[in-house]
Structure 1
Amino acid sequence: MSPTFTDPLWRIPVRLRPVEVALLRTAPLRRLHFVAHGGASTLSTLQSYTRLEHSLGVLALVAHFRPDDAPLRVAALVHDIGHLPLSHTFEGIEGLDHHAIGLRLLRADPVRSVLASHGVCADVVAAALAGEPPSPLSNRTGLLHLDHLDSYVRSGRAAGRLKTDPAVMLCRIDLRASVVSTDRETAATLVDLITAEARLHTSWDNVGPTSVVRRLARQLLDATPLTPDELARLTDPQLWSALDACASTRAESAMVRYEPHRLEVRAGHAPDEQRGWDFSLRKIYRSAPLVAGQRIEAAAPELAAELAALGALPTTFRVWWS
């Protein structure tokens, strides 16, 4: 990759530092070019961009707001290296957690040696990733940070629902105590994107394919010598190859890729439905920006109410093949 790039979403020009160039040449970072940010929903939506694109977008945001914070820039670049194939799809299977995996990779070669050779402290990077203390990449307050900001806006563009130029939005955004803050109009745009993303996650487009591929991963682990740790390090193409090579998963793997329209999804428990399987979403993201430096509940209660309403979205489903 060239030592300079312009993020196509935010249109932020970035000059990569030597440590960032070196990291982008390592396998854990290169792997993200082959992991879909949208997970299994890439089978049924236009969410085709990768974890690497998102990571570079987050780096661009950090370079914009905190250009001289070297550890934070590194944290932005490596924050997703622990992601499993198809991103969040397999989170929780056999205890797999992308945050924990990412921290292990941060302290292992080749990432560890790259950081050490450039004088970057892995512990400082890890602290920024953990949000201890709160950083522009992570916090424990439930408020919007740069990682999720890029995710919401990038997803909105991919889905064709982004009505505001991201570069214009960026001019209206700042960081207040490491939290995204903006004006009332831009906050409304962000709330629309956050709401749409939550509804996507609870829709057929995500629930159907994700539930199938999670089941296939469990079957793959049961039927082959593949370990959970080995599963976690596959790329998306390697995962599909493994599923195609396994007799227990081959047929359904083809079905979910080529006939996803046959999937039926019903929200809630369906004890009367004998077909299929149950599926539960682990989490619905709804982190809110500050509005002119104030919490959204005080500055824009109507927007806060929209986010609060997301708590009523279904998180349990019954899925089956028709």
Structure 2
Amino acid sequence: MQVKEARLFSEPLYPYIKPNKLEIKLVQSKSLRRLKHLAHFGAGSLVSPVVHSRFEHTLGVWKLTAFYFPEDIELRVAALLHDIGHLPFSHSVEHTLKFNHHQLTEQYIIEDEISSILQQYYISPYKIIEILNESSVITGKENILGIDHLDSFFRDTYMAGMIETLPKDLLHKIRCNSKGIDTDIETGHYLLQLILSDHKLFLSPQMIAVDRLLAEAIKLHWSADTINKDEFVRLTDSDVISILKASSSGEAKKIINTLLFSPDKIRINNAKTGNGYQIGIRKVYSKVPMYEGRALTERSIEARNTLQDLHDLSFDSEVLITSE
């Protein structure tokens, strides 16, 4: 293993996978390197220990894909490129600002930097887009857990200190077929508990509140300074923080400084007063692993109960910043 190569593809959750020359070039591209500067956990990274970037997540998805499908080069490439269209702070502002990171991913794959690398190795950018637009083992088919979300649930709970068994010690119990993740009953229950734990964290009022506040700060700044949206999607998290700290909108500056330095001033009101921003849960990621080729929820009452606990997560509140 070369030191430089190992450093490029280093992350703590899975065994080392040897990249090919194409994958090394992609990881060295600006489009992939930018992911190192985007928080996977959104604005929650400012107030929680879950601080890994989209880059580490991307490496995780690629490693799992290469582990289960070592000969499928196009699928491995799709895993590396699946998130390059993400905005600053990932999902935090995407819905509020009406962006679609999947469309941006397609755009970036077609652009010269990535497409020229792919074509050097006789891979069509449009074939990679086709893979990413289809239901696949990366996304998981129908209601089955795929590689992408499996890594997210592993990585978030690892960073939050919630994980009991390292993912690399579970891979011998986990398989991946044409639909997605398949495992034994015990491991499947463990994965569902990780999924529930992660949801309880990233869909908690506190985490949704900071995402909403960040999105509102950005909207306030745009109304004050009219930033070009095409430029915004190429920014990094630190770019956005710097812009908001210097904003001509006093409210935008107040929000970003609260998120950075005074998160104790953020308050959640269950009773709506009309003085804050409304917050609530939009959706849950309710795909499940399989056991012997069928969804675990078809085989296990415990799995069905855990899935119901997931769907029962809900609240309707408001967030505001106090002066205390």
Q: Fold conserved (TM > 0.5)?
A: yes
1:140 Cα deviation after fit: 4.7
Please, which runs of 5 or more residues in structure 2 have no aligned partner? none
Q: Aligned partners of 1:192 and 1:320: how far apart in 2?
A: 31
Equivalent residue runs for 1:42-121 within 5 Å: 42-121=45-124
Q: Aligned partners of 2:277 and 2:14: how far apart in 1?
A: 44
Identity score, percent: 29
Counterpart pick for 2:268 among 261, 265, 270: 265
Structure 2 counterpart of 1:294: 294
Q: Aligned partners of 1:266 and 1:258: how far apart in 2?
A: 21
Structure 2 counterpart of 1:3: 5
Equivalent residue runs for 1:145-164 within 5 Å: 145-164=146-165
1:203 Cα deviation after fit: 1.4
Equivalent residue runs for 1:111-260 within 5 Å: 111-130=114-133, 132=134, 134-248=135-249, 249-260=252-263
Counterpart pick for 1:20 among 20, 23, 44: 23
Q: Aligned partners of 1:205 and 1:9: how far apart in 2?
A: 27
**1:40-81, CA deviations, whole angstroms, 9 ceiling, x for partnerless residues?**
111221101110011011111111000111111111111110
Structure 1 counterpart of 2:284: 284
Structure 2 counterpart of 1:38: 41
Contact 2:41 2:50 in 1 (8 A): yes
1:7 Cα deviation after fit: 4.9
1:179 Cα deviation after fit: 0.8
Contact 1:9 1:57 in 2 (8 A): no
Contact 1:264 1:321 in 2 (8 A): yes
Q: Aligned partners of 1:13 and 1:100: how far apart in 2?
A: 31
CA spacing shift, 1:282–1:98, aligned 2, 3 Å? farther
Contact 2:110 2:125 in 1 (8 A): yes
Secondary structure at the residue paired with 2:57?
Answer: helix
**How many residue pairs end up in the alignment?**
317
| Amino acid of the structure 2 residue aligned with 1:211 | R
Q: Aligned partners of 2:33 and 2:52: how far apart in 1?
A: 14
1:185 Cα deviation after fit: 1.1
1:83 Cα deviation after fit: 0.7
> Which region of structure 1 is more displaced relative to structure 2, 105-114 or 303-312?
303-312
**1:227-257, CA deviations, whole angstroms, 9 ceiling, x for partnerless residues?**
2222221100001011012121222211121
1:315 Cα deviation after fit: 5.0
> Which region of structure 1 is more displaced relative to structure 2, 63-72 or 171-180?
171-180
Contact 2:205 2:279 in 1 (8 A): no
Aligned-pair RMSD on alpha carbons? 1.7
| Amino acid of the structure 1 residue aligned with 2:200 | R
Contact 1:28 1:81 in 2 (8 A): yes
Q: Aligned partners of 1:259 and 1:9: how far apart in 2?
A: 31
**1:253-299, CA deviations, whole angstroms, 9 ceiling, x for partnerless residues?**
111211111111135xx44x132111244322222111232211221
1:197 Cα deviation after fit: 1.2
Contact 1:10 1:170 in 2 (8 A): no
1:4 Cα deviation after fit: 4.1
Secondary structure at the residue paired with 1:13?
Answer: coil
Q: Aligned partners of 1:94 and 1:86: how far apart in 2?
A: 12
Secondary structure at the residue paired with 2:294?
Answer: coil
1:2 Cα deviation after fit: 2.8
